[in-house]
Amino acid sequence: MKLSEAKAQFISSWGAFGTHWGINRTMAQIHALLLISPDPITQDDIMEQLNISRGNVNMNTRELISWGLVERVLIPGERREFFTAEKDIWKVATQIIKERKKRELDPMLKLLGQLEQIDGDKKDKNVKQFVDTVGGIRKFGGQADKMLDVMIKADENWFLGSLLKFFK
């Protein structure tokens, strides 16, 4: 297989993959393109390689930046802005985990905590099932939360870092 063909396949399937994870196709494709580009590239490069409009590139690169996965870089003597992606997959993964935890898991756990405080007869099986379910999810979510914190901190902590090295 030639590089150009492999590239196209990688970008396309990374895009499809993204849609199963709440990420829009184009954003994932831009990310894929940046991951396999050795040097920083411009808006126009992205437009050309993915056949998408300027506005689309602009919105999605901003979103990737807000996720901490992509950076703007200034090339001396160049007027235009260039983009580059973090290439260390471990860092990419922890960054995504960190953001999703903050955006989704933490607020959900907060809500579940509130929902557990309903008033009602604990002998009513409807009340009991509700409290049990919500409690169960909150407990499970709390454990997941702690586990993810460990993973996120691994990079910043020598001991955990060496412990988890074999995963890299």
Partner DNA sequence: ATTTATTTTCAATAAGTTTTGAAAATTCAA
Partner DNA sequence: TTGAATTTTCAAAACTTATTGAAAATAAAT
Q: What share of the chain is helix, strand, coil (3-state, %, to 5)?
A: 70, 5, 25
Q: Which is nearer to DNA, 44 or 132 (CB)?
A: 44
Contact yes or no for 145/101 (Cβ under 8 A): yes
Binding DNA (rule: CB under 7 A), the pick from 37, 43, 84, 95 is 43
Total residue count of the chain as it appears in this document: 168
Q: Kind of pairing, strands 70-73 and 82-85?
A: antiparallel
Distances (CA, A) of 30 to 22, 67, 131: 15, 13, 43
Tell me the number of residues near its own copies by CB under 8 A. Answer: 51
DSSP structural state of residue 163: H
Q: Does residue 167 interact with its own copies by CB under 8 A? A: yes
Which one-letter amino acid corresponds to residue 19?
Answer: T
Stretch that binds its own copies, among 47-55, 73-81, 130-138, 154-162 (CB under 8 A): 130-138
Stretch that binds DNA, among 48-56, 89-97, 109-117, 144-152 (CB under 7 A): 48-56
Q: What x/- string results for residues 51 through 90 when contact with DNA is judged by CB under 7 A?
A: xxxxxx-xxxxx----------------xxx---------
Stretch that binds DNA, among 37-45, 91-99, 110-118, 146-154 (CB under 7 A): 37-45
Helix (H/G/I), strand (E/B), else coil: 119: coil
Contact yes or no for 65/95 (Cβ under 8 A): no
Q: Does residue 37 interact with its own copies by CB under 8 A? A: yes
Residues 6+ apart with CB under 8 A from 116: 131, 134, 135, 138
Binding partner of 110, given its own copies, DNA, none, CB within 5-8 angstroms per partner class: none
Q: Does residue 168 interact with its own copies by CB under 8 A? A: yes
Chain residues that interact with its own copies, rule: CB under 8 A:
1-3, 6-7, 9-10, 13, 17, 19-22, 35-39, 87-90, 93, 100, 104, 108, 111, 114-115, 117-120, 124-130, 132-134, 136-137, 139-140, 143, 147, 167-168
